[in-house]
Every structure is written in structure tokens, then in C-alpha cells.
Amino acid sequence: MNNTIKTTIVFVVGILLGVAGTGLYIHHCFARSWINSGNHNHAVDMLDSKLSLTPDEKTKIEKVFDDNAPAVEAVRLETNAKLQTVRDKTSTQIRLLLTSDQQQKFDALKAEWDKKRNANDKGWHIPGLPPGPPPPGGPGTMCFSGPNSATPASK
């Protein structure tokens, strides 16, 4: 094979691997939002590292997060209810535009989407989240570590 062709193939494969690796890294670092995780320990740790909190300040800040958690949950529930209302209205309007065959296929697609959304539901319906509890240390801990770093949500 010609050296130019070999070089071009190696170059293209390198670009593809680089793009794939970057995509995986970005997905890993930004897949979870700290709001979505239900765990504010990493936010407190970040504040501690940036502000050099005393143990008493850290405890009081943790309490502030804990005290406000019910309000955050209420907003989440209200938001999810409003989103569901908009989804239902949109689906109804779309169904009216379709033939009966298309409506059947649309209903199947909608059921599939609902199933995926419910399986990924961590409260904020962020697509692509793996089921289960948030990773220890909060999101982005492995990607953003060190004294001058912050999690993606704090940037």
C-alpha cells in the first residue's frame, strides 16, 4: 500500500479515537448535575477548599443545605408536574396530525420514551443518567480535582 494512504488511514483513525475519547471524558465528567445528585457533600467540600471553612462553619453550611432540601424537592416536584402537562399536551396535538397507523406507531414510541425517562429519572429527567445512586464524592470528582478546581455545576 502507498505510504500516503497508510499515513492518511493512521491520521483518520487517530482523529476518530481522539473524538471518541473526548466524548467519553465529557460524558463522564458532566453526566450528573449536583442538583440532580441529591448529595450536597461535594458542594460543601468545594466551599471548604475555596473558603477554608472551620469545622463549625462546615457543619452549619451542611445544615443550611439540609434545611433547604425540602424546598428544592418541592420545586422539583412542581417542575416535573408542569413538564408532564406540557408533554401530554404536545403528544395530544401531534397525535391529531397523524393517520391511525401513524398514531399507533407514535403511541409505541411515546411508551418507549416514557419508559426510558422513568428508568433514568433522578428527579430532573436528565437524559442518559445511569440508574442508581450518585457516585461517591459527587459529579466530576475524578475530572476536576485539586485545590483550584470545582465541579462542573460550580463553574
pLDDT, tens digit only, all 155 positions of the chain: 688 888 888 888 889 888 888 877 766 565 444 444 456 777 888 889 899 999 999 999 999 988 888 888 788 788 888 988 998 999 999 999 999 999 999 999 999 988 887 776 554 444 444 444 444 444 444 444 444 444 444 43
Within 10 angstroms of residue 37's Cβ, the number of other Cβ atoms is 22
DSSP state of 142: T
As for how many domains the chain has, the answer is 1
Q: Are 35 and 134 in contact (CB under 8 A)?
A: no
In a domain, 53, yes or no: yes
As a whole number of Å, the end-to-end CA separation of the chain is 50
- The SS3 of residue 148 is coil
137, 119, 130, 129: which is closest to 49 by C-alpha? 137
- The radius of gyration of the chain from alpha carbons, rounded to an integer in Å, stands at 22
Residue 153: its pLDDT value, please? 43
Residue 105: its pLDDT value, please? 94
In a domain, 4, yes or no: no
Query: d(Cα 45, Cα 39) in Å, to the nearest integer?
Result: 11
